[in-house]
Amino acid sequence: MGRDLSKVALITGASRGLGREIALRLAERVGRVAVHYFQHRALACQVAAKIEKLGVESRVFRADLSSPAAGTNLVGRVEKAWGRVDILVNNFGPFLVKPLEKTIAEDWLNLYQTNVVIALEMIKAVLPGMRQRKWGRIINLGFHRAGQMTPFPQVLPYAAAKTALLLLTKTVASTEAKHGITVNMVSPGLIEGGELPFEPGEAATSKLLGKPEDVAAAVSFLASEEAKALTGVNLIVAGTWKM
**Would you please indicate which residues are annotated as catalytic (active-site) residues?**
158
Per-residue DSSP letter, 207: S
Strand partners, 137: 87, 182
Alpha helix ranges (H) inside 34-184: 41-53, 68-82, 105-112, 118-133, 156-176
CA distances from 124 to 6, 18, 49, 75 (A): 22, 23, 30, 10
Q: Answer for the pair 140, 119: CB distance below 8 angstroms, yes or no.
A: yes
Looking at the DSSP bridge assignments, the partners of residue 88 are 10, 138
Residue from 8, 41, 36 nearest 223 by CA: 8
Distance CA 132, CA 79 (A): 14
d(CA 66, CA 217): 28
Using DSSP's 3-state secondary structure scheme, residue 204 falls into coil
